[in-house]
Copies of this chain bind each other. A is one copy, B any other.
Amino acid sequence: MRISELSRRSGVPNATIKFYLREGLVPPGRATSATQAEYDEGHLRRLRLVRALISVRGLSVSAAKEVVGSLGEVEGDTYELLGLVFGVWPGADGNGPAGSGGGEGRGGGEDHDEGEDADVDALVAELGWDVTEFSPARKTVTQTLNTLRNLGLDCGWRDLVPYARLAERTATLDLDQIEGPDDPLEKAERAVLLTFLLEPALLALRRLAQESEAAARYRDQGLP
């Protein structure tokens, strides 16, 4: 098919597809001549995935590129492959390096954001998790802990342990979901879908559950 059909079937404007092609989010079509190229179902599929990552999950174009890029380099075994997928870390959003949340306390401490993962190390050790030292998710946890303390809550890594146990079970569900296909490529794509696209839904479920739990605890209870 040509670009217009791709556009019609995906709902993505013609010009935007060209933009994604230029940015490398979608691989180029098979050129049939100087000004003609042929696209297939794979392109359509990729286009839909990119669209979902950007508009549903809210990834930036460059983050989405990294994510789908990891899909293109499937070479090793399943473990390596999933490591590649899970290792990609376009933050909780499109954020780059945001420092450590700014603001030294009244004492005037220094800002150092290198190393300093002592909290996460302890947490990981306590949980018995098997994660590399380079997972980008580490610094997200560190930063959150720092920020919360910065805002006056006295919380440490121990407070995260119960949350981490639940995350563990969530991850088990995730991995169960990708057991299905034998094809490593399909496994990888499914991992991307579940990891990234489920994120907004998981947060939404937490909100609904909070609402429900708050109703159970505090409704018809008057002022505390």
Q: Considering the complex, which residues of chain A in the window 181-224 have a beta carbon less than 8 Å from any beta carbon of chain B?
A: 182, 184, 187, 190, 193, 195, 197-224
Contact A201 B141 (CB under 8 A): yes
- 6 closest A-B pairs by CB: A58-B93, A92-B200, A11-B102, A171-B209, A167-B205, A137-B204
Residue of B nearest to A159 (CB): B177
Where chain A touches its partner, the secondary structure class is helix
Is A66 part of the binding interface, using a Cβ–Cβ cutoff of 8 Å? no
Question: In the complex, how many angstroms separate the beta carbon of A107 from the nearest chain B beta carbon?
Answer: 11
- Interface assignment of A30: CB less than 8 Å from any CB of chain B: no
Chain A contact residues, CB within 8 Å of chain B: 9-12, 45, 48-49, 51-52, 55-58, 77-79, 82-83, 86-87, 89, 91-95, 98-99, 101-104, 106, 124, 129-132, 135, 137-138, 140-141, 143-145, 147-148, 150-153, 159-160, 162-164, 166-175, 177, 182, 184, 187, 190, 193, 195, 197-224
Residues of the B chain whose Cβ atoms lie less than 8 Å from the Cβ of A132: 211
A22-B171 Cα distance, complex, nearest whole Å: 43
A103-B48, A221-B79 as given contacts; A174 in contact with B210, CB under 8 Å: yes
Rounded to whole angstroms, the CA-CA distance of A135 and B198 in the bound complex is 18
Q: A198 contacts which chain B residues (CB < 8 A)?
A: 144, 163
Min CB distance A198 to B, Å, is 7
Shortest A116–chain B CB gap in Å is: 15
Partner of A55 from B77, B102, B208 at Cβ < 8 Å: B102
